[in-house]
């Protein structure tokens, strides 16, 4: 899971909602930000517009979020936590010794679970681009890359890769960038084209894994 927020002081985040009414207001603010981000784009997103869309006054919004960046961070953090929850469940299965799934089936399972997360397509289309350019979201993205690379390194170890740690980490990070780039591209495309990109992304991943297991031929079944 993500670590402590790097800007969790009053200059960025405000208080956490504790009462049901406050939590409902924050939920409305976040939902309004999603609507406006999809409809108008990042450049036109402002706290005033978000407050108006949510049906709250701007002072109420500022009780919980100091800026639109804080709102975007919260949306991105929710997505990241969902993704890292998938990683955590699989790593727990590795550690317990309960996971006996063959490598290629396991890879499909991970991808299917990630793609089945709520709002996954929306997140790739509307949150992934801000995470690449908004400074505080880039910090979150960098942390997420580290967690994701650690997951893929553990996954590869679990399936028998014996490379030194340094080489394995480099490969895991490259795997992450390959997947991330392809799915970010798919998020910007019409549905039919996006399906092709996601299909090619999986094939690219299977092809990369040949570097780890150069003598295996069973990867032909992955297409």
CA distance 104 to 108: 6
- Does residue 58 belong to any structural domain of this protein? no
User: Which residue segment(s) compose the domain that 197 sits in?
Assistant: 73-222
Helices (H) and strands (E) in the chain, counts: 10, 0
Question: Which tens digit of pLDDT belongs to each residue from 158-202?
Answer: 999 999 999 999 999 999 999 999 999 999 999 999 999 999 999
pLDDT of the residue at 12? 66
- Does residue 153 belong to any structural domain of this protein? yes
- Give the best-scoring range by mean pLDDT among 79-83, 101-105, 211-215: 79-83
- Does residue 129 belong to any structural domain of this protein? yes
**Taking the chain, what is the end-to-end CA distance rounded to the nearest angstrom?**
32
**Residue 214 confidence class, pLDDT cut points 50, 70, 90:** low
- Does residue 98 belong to any structural domain of this protein? yes
CA distance 87 to 82: 9
Average pLDDT score over the chain:
89
Q: Who has greater pLDDT, 211 or 88?
A: 88
Per the structure, the count of domains in the chain is 1
What are the residues whose beta carbons fall under 8 Å from the beta carbon of 69, sequence distance 6 or more? 12, 134, 136, 137
Q: Who has greater pLDDT, 215 or 197?
A: 197
pLDDT of the residue at 221? 39
CA distance 44 to 53: 13
- Does residue 120 belong to any structural domain of this protein? yes
* Three-state secondary-structure class, residue 43: coil
CA distance 210 to 199: 18
CA distance 154 to 161: 9
pLDDT of the residue at 215? 61
């Amino acid at each position: 899971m993500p670590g402590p927020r790097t800007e969790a002081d009053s200059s960025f985040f405000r208080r956490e909602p504790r009462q049901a009414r406050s939590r409902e207001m924050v939920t409305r603010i976040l939902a309004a930000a999603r609507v406006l981000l999809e409809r108008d784009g990042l450049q036109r997103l402002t706290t005033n517009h978000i407050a108006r869309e949510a049906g709250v006054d701007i002072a109420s919004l500022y009780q919980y979020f100091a800026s639109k960046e804080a709102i975007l961070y919260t949306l991105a953090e929710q997505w990241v936590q969902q993704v890292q929850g998938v990683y955590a469940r699989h790593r727990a299965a590795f550690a317990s010794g309960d996971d006996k799934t063959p490598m290629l089936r396991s890879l499909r399972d991970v991808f299917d679970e990630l793609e089945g997360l709520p709002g996954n397509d929306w997140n790739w289309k509307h949150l992934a681009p801000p995470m690449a350019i908004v400074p505080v979201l880039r910090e979150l993205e960098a942390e997420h890359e580290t967690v994701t690379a650690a997951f893929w390194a553990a996954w590869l170890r679990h399936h028998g890769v014996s490379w030194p740690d340094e080489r394995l980490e480099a490969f895991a990070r490259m795997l992450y960038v390959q997947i991330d780039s392809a799915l970010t591209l798919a998020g910007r495309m019409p549905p039919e084209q996006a399906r092709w990109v996601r299909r090619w992304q999986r094939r690219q991943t299977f092809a990369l894994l040949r570097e780890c297991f150069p003598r295996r031929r069973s990867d032909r079944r992955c297409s």
